Amino acid sequence: MNPIFTDCLIQLQNALRLRNYSLRTEQAYLYWTRKFLAFYPHLLPQEMGSRQVSAFLTRLAVESNLAASSQNQALSALLFFFREVLQREVGWMQNLVWAKKPKRIPTVFTRQEVRQVLDQLDGMKWLLASLLYGAGLRLMEGLRLRVKDVDFGYQQIVVRDGKGHRDRVTVLPGKLITPLQKQLKYVEQLHRQDLREGFGEVFLPYALEKKYPGANREFIWQFLFPSGNRSHDPRSGRYYRHHLYPSTLQQALKEAIRNAGIPKTGSPHTLRHSFATHLLEIGYDIRTVQDLLGHKNIQTTMIYTHVLKRGGHGVRSPLDDTLG
């Protein structure tokens, strides 16, 4: 790659880390910016503008048939690159057309189907899946839970830095108190073993390691669902005990749905959809559900009311009366 492009990518990485973007976002932004620069190998970054960005996004949409969410992620990456690395005014870029995501009614499991799926899981995978359903968590919110985020006294879970960089409080299911207490004992034993072997550090966000020296070795900061292996952190170069990899539950849940014989496609996020729908079914108001889910806009939560309108807005088919 052109040395100028390489230098731009290094600057982009530094800018992302300075602003405490997650490693997943960093990897995604670097990926799209690298593809954009490679799309115009004979132009300098300073020579690129709206025409080049528009042509690149059109290529992604038309020739690569990329999903709307991925197109928008690419546009966000380029917006950050032009603004923070090239120090360019980006008003023109904000006027570009963002890809529209199709409005789809989410897949939801019935209570019986939730039980069937959970019956196919065990151990940490069962506990994590149960927590996603029982507390309405996103997969990464569940994986990023720390020991200190589980409050048994008030029977609640504190979700730190959720989507939109917002904290929120959600319910801790009573039936998971004992399993979670056992999980904490396991995490504590694992942490003690790491300390004895000269490790025991965990990644802390937002430069908390500098603010609280030694906190990354404390038990309360350890992940609730730790990985079975220590891993090398590409940012610090040290070895940490990180949380489970997302695909661990994604693959297990896919297999569980298939083994349960449920004729639906589903993912860990389906458990969150089911949590919201079932709360509305039993009479909780939509504002309460919105708060528990952490939705900024209530219109996002309203999608679950469509799920409750069984069979075409609650209409009873004449066939049921004719053959009844």
How many C-beta atoms lie closer than 10 Å to residue 209's C-beta?
Answer: 18
Tokens 């090398």 identify what position? 232
To the query of whether residue 269 is one of the catalytic residues in this protein, the response is: yes
Alpha-carbon radius of gyration of the chain: 23
Catalytic residue among 138, 144, 191, 273: 138
Tokens 């731009």 identify what position? 8
To the query of whether residue 295 is one of the catalytic residues in this protein, the response is: yes
Catalytic residue among 88, 230, 254, 269: 269
Residue 82 structure tokens: 């032009």
To the query of whether residue 272 is one of the catalytic residues in this protein, the response is: yes
Catalytic residue among 144, 146, 191, 295: 295
Catalytic residue among 191, 272, 273, 278: 272
Residue 100 three-state SS: coil
Q: Which of 228, 268, 222, 266 is nearest to 245 (CA)?
A: 228
Catalytic residue among 163, 217, 230, 254: 163
Strand 231-232 versus strand 150-151 pairing type: unpaired
To the query of whether residue 287 is one of the catalytic residues in this protein, the response is: no
CA dist., res. 263 & res. 88, Å (int):
51
Please tell me what DSSP assigns to residue 97. P
Q: Which of 268, 283, 285 is nearest to 133 (CA)?
A: 268
To the query of whether residue 34 is one of the catalytic residues in this protein, the response is: no
118: amino acid identity, one letter: L
Spell 233-251 as b/e; 16+ CB within 10 A means b: eeeeeebbbbbbeeebbee
- Residues marked as catalytic: 138, 163, 269, 272, 295, 304
